[in-house]
Structure 1
């Protein structure tokens, strides 16, 4: 009996590679992998539903699910997670020393609804900086033609402008047109060492560790999605995907934990792994709903409060029911 041939688009992550190289198989599936950057996957998924299975932006997926027009149903596999204290870049010559100093500033972002930006706005709220306290300026990091992927209806007190034609977030931050940039990538002016561009949190690892100690949340950025028409034809897929992606992650973690020879081209990997487990527990990159319910509930609440989702979703509404249960011996 031949396996089902399905397209699968996802980023190049160590926790995914055991699936790509065939070490771990998806029961009943012969996947055709496209290893792509998230921005390309999301654009093609939400504009054209190009892929049978793919990585999806949690925020974009939530917008579409709340509206009832999402072509995908979620699987509680989280290919990307990240603490977003690394995601705020500032002009260092504007008197911005604390999060509170962002009030009344002009803050650039690639898209208002990006998952990273939802989390950053959640963090800034803790310092009394509300979305209505700043002017948001939308534009591409390096390409001025980038557009918001999804149509939004924001609260009336949120000021959202666009950069002038030809300008980019990186150029605007470099020339001082804007005071800060929030987003999942560093603007190139920061990477090039611009003398007046730095991070809001000079020690983002320390700030994120303190934040985790307070909230016990490792922010989820992306989830796995399966096109609804594919699931309707092949009901076994959600369970098979959860099983395979869990196994692939376990293989990746075993390799990372093997200290005989470092698997990553970076010193002190073993020490950072130990530190992460001391702070966050052994399975710090967990899949599944129940272990991540508090993270998803916090995100979905903030997402709705920020005016991005038309209604507040419950975590269960994100996922196919068959992906939330598994057999037990």
Structure 2
């Protein structure tokens, strides 16, 4: 009799738990959601995250709080997200640098980008602006390549640090163009602008948001954008492919991850919410001002993009013997 009662109690508990599951899912979110940005405030990733988070929060009826956790090329914030509870209340705004490049530059990361995160969806992609010093006598990518070949080893380029996407973009350019350029790393591209203007540094692949004001002020020259098509922010500036290096395309992706083992119903809900938010007219307008375009799609599509970009950058890093040192 006792065994029968125990069995009945267990069965009843399981039935009640099953019945309660949909109610719990429907009640999400019951509190604010934290969106970790593993880079400093006011940078491109932060501004993009805030534009999207505000809309997602409004749609969900709960605030999505952006939490900046910079350091170690995005590894500090990414590690926090990886180790957070898989309850949908801690998410990560990841980028090409954190998940497609970082593992190849920092092989001893405290997390595995493939197994310690749950992909939710890509939200945007952004182009970069190829700018050169006014002291450099070139006005197109074709002229830049010709000048570099005529003056091997004389030209240099700035980056936001070893192993960053800015660094790798320039390396990809020099490899494809067959030119020899010297790398000058800075602690952020903003710190290189003065040297670029003075002519101490010659080339920079900068965020279109931070590079464009200097072009408009006449302090730097914009040769091209790195996207497959022209940017609406600078419609008169050609793509790298149009201007002298066919086939060259390099964009930065931005996407949302959760910790590993995030329940499938929450992944579906969050994917739908972020896809909806990035299509809102006001969000699209803000993204455009940042030189970014909304992407959207399924978690599987996002994972595929990350994988392809990881293979691409991993090969470049190995072929060019690039390290974080």
Matched, 1:288 2:319: no
1:69 maps to what in 2? Answer: 109
Aligned-residue offset at 1:173: 1.0
Q: Which has the higher helix share?
A: 2
CA distance in 2 between partners of 1:293 and 1:123 (Å): 25
After superposition, the C-alpha distances for 1:8-55 in whole angstroms (9 at most, x for unaligned) are: 22434444333222x137xxxx7761265xxx5465951363444221
Q: Aligned in 2, Cα 1:126/1:60: closer, same or farther, shift over 3 Å?
A: same
2:178 maps to what in 1? Answer: 128
Q: Aligned in 2, Cα 1:216/1:249: closer, same or farther, shift over 3 Å?
A: farther
CA distance in 1 between partners of 2:202 and 2:133 (Å): 5
1:321 maps to what in 2? Answer: none
| Contact 1:44-1:50 within 8 A present in 2 as well | no
Aligned counterparts, 1:84-233, within 5 A: 84=128, 86=129, 88-97=130-139, 98=141, 99-100=144-145, 101-102=147-148, 104=153, 105-123=155-173, 125-129=175-179, 133-141=180-188, 168-184=191-207, 186=210, 190=214, 193-195=217-219, 197-201=220-224, 205=235, 207-208=238-239, 219-227=251-259, 231=260
2:93 to 42, 45, 55: 55
Aligned-residue offset at 1:247: 2.6
CA distance in 1 between partners of 2:100 and 2:302 (Å): 16
| Contact 1:60-1:113 within 8 A present in 2 as well | no
2:316 to 306, 309, 315: 306
Q: Who wins on radius of gyration, i.e. which is larger?
A: 2
Aligned-residue offset at 1:136: 0.4
| Contact 1:78-1:223 within 8 A present in 2 as well | yes
Q: Aligned in 2, Cα 1:264/1:16: closer, same or farther, shift over 3 Å?
A: same
Aligned-residue offset at 1:107: 0.5
Matched, 1:19 2:56: yes
Aligned-residue offset at 1:108: 0.7
- Root mean square deviation, CA, Å: 4.6
Secondary structure of the residue aligned to 1:177 is coil
| Contact 1:116-1:221 within 8 A present in 2 as well | no
Matched, 1:82 2:111: no
Aligned residue pairs total: 248
Secondary structure of the residue aligned to 2:270 is helix
Gaps spanning 5+ residues in structure 2: where? 1-23, 38-45, 85-90, 321-325
Matched, 1:243 2:283: no
Secondary structure of the residue aligned to 2:257 is strand
Matched, 1:9 2:36: yes
| Contact 1:59-1:303 within 8 A present in 2 as well | no
CA distance in 1 between partners of 2:122 and 2:217 (Å): 32
Q: Aligned in 2, Cα 1:46/1:176: closer, same or farther, shift over 3 Å?
A: same
CA distance in 1 between partners of 2:240 and 2:204 (Å): 22
Matched, 1:46 2:75: yes
